[in-house]
Amino acid sequence: MRQRSLIAITAALTAGALTLTACGSRDDSKDKDDAGGGGTTVVIGVDAPLTGDLSALGLGIRNSVDLAVKQANKKKYVDGITFKMESADDQGQPSSGQTNATKFVANKDILGAVGPLNSSVGESMQKVFDDAKLVQVSPANTNPAMTQGPDWNGGKKTRPYKAYFRTATTDAIQGPFAAQYLYNKAKKKKVFVIDDKKTYGAGLAATFKDEFTKLGGKVAGTEHVNPDTKDFGAVATKIRNSDADVVYYGGEYPAAGPLSKQMKKAGAKIPLVGGDGIYSADYIKLSGKDGKGDYATSVGQPVEQLPSAKEFIANYKEAGYKEAYEAYGGYSYDSAWAIIEAVKKVVEDNDGKLPSDARAKIVDAMQDVSFDGVTGKVSFDEYGDATNKQLTVYQVKDTADPAKGWKPVESGTFTG
């Protein structure tokens, strides 16, 4: 009996080993063929929530990367290289994100990844990508610790992962920017701060609160909510009975929309303010008429107002995607384009061929990428953060047509 099982195990191991070598040799031969024929395929992975609550933003990210890939192929931007997009769905869950990252790393053709949307998902992916020296560019992660280390607030900035870059600005800027606008321009003095305890929401709420109190504002109350239940009745009552004149919510639109609606129905007729996580047409759908007057900050200038974005918007329309590009479309396009630029540099430095250590070379090349993108000048500082630190305050002016409800109120650059 024992002998027979031993034979079985050996047989299985041999079969497994054979399969593995077979795979390896096939890959090798393909690489050689491609190098000779000049038709190498480079895959850019996209990880975003394509289903679930946050899919409106996630699908916008995927479509925009797809558009960048198609444009690069159409223009034959990198000689001899055909780009392809491969998308993976993380459903906003850190565990799914990590699985997807591992899958991307295992695919030899993938030389760069765009995504994810959520900071908490991004944190779970950083190490996987960094170990594999696979470059990752997030269009939407805003948690400062991801590029500047856990002690960024204490003045000791260290970059934890060399392969991680982002085109989005951080909460270290976004929260204080909202605080300055509310205190100085909108004349709000007492704030009720709520967050959803996720990496993004809690971080954003904390940076907002620090700056708001530093300016002289008062905190009328704080609350943490579970974004999965849509019942905020008890919280709404607390807000109504506090003397706050504005509510700041650190989190995303699936919870923020119902929260805004419920607190106003409960009698607290004060605006809700949030970060880029609530800057979505779906926020207006969920909050309905009650969303009117609410504010959101988002990274960069409004895409529609940038001359550089005209081409992007026109191409996006022409490509006929079913979903809108949403808040991160321009940043996703630029993220993908940054990878394409880095690939171009690496290929050109290597006489028009992909080097064998392409992934590591691309990470190095990414540091020096600089081009005029959809959202302005795209380049990265020593931490991998975008050098473009523009922000815009938006307000819900019109709830009849959610797609056009957010109107820019003020754009600016945050200065300390």
Q: Which residues bind other proteins (CB under 8 A)?
A: 50-56, 196-197, 222-226, 228-235, 237-238, 240-241, 254, 257-258, 261-262, 265-267, 282, 285-289
Minimum separation from the CB atom of position 193 to other proteins (A): 11
Q: Which is closer to other proteins, CB of 34 or CB of 196? A: 196
Q: Which is closer to other proteins, CB of 254 or CB of 300? A: 254
386/126 Cα distance (integer angstroms):
17
Q: Which is closer to other proteins, CB of 140 or CB of 340? A: 140
Minimum separation from the CB atom of position 54 to other proteins (A): 7
Return all residues near 280 (Cβ < 8 A) that are at least 6 apart: 56, 57, 253, 326, 327
Residue written as token pair 């459903």: 91
366/164 Cα distance (integer angstroms):
10
Pairing of strands 272-274, 295-299: parallel
Contact yes or no for 97/90 (Cβ under 8 A): yes
Q: Which is closer to other proteins, CB of 193 or CB of 378? A: 193
Minimum separation from the CB atom of position 55 to other proteins (A): 5
CA dihedral for 350, 352, 356, 362, sign (positive or negative): positive
Strand pairing partners for 247? Answer: 192, 272
Minimum separation from the CB atom of position 57 to other proteins (A): 9
Q: Which is closer to other proteins, CB of 197 or CB of 214? A: 197
Q: Which is closer to other proteins, CB of 241 or CB of 356? A: 241
Minimum separation from the CB atom of position 382 to other proteins (A): 36
Q: Identify whether 116 is preceded by a cis peptide bond (ω within 30 of 0).
A: yes
Q: Which of 405, 295, 359, 373 is nearest to 136 (CA)?
A: 359
Minimum separation from the CB atom of position 231 to other proteins (A): 6
Cβ burial of 149 (10 Å; 0-12, 13-18, 19+) is middle
DSSP state letter for 134: -
- Other beta carbons within 10 angstroms of residue 20's beta carbon come to 10
Minimum separation from the CB atom of position 203 to other proteins (A): 16
Q: Which is closer to other proteins, CB of 270 or CB of 393? A: 270
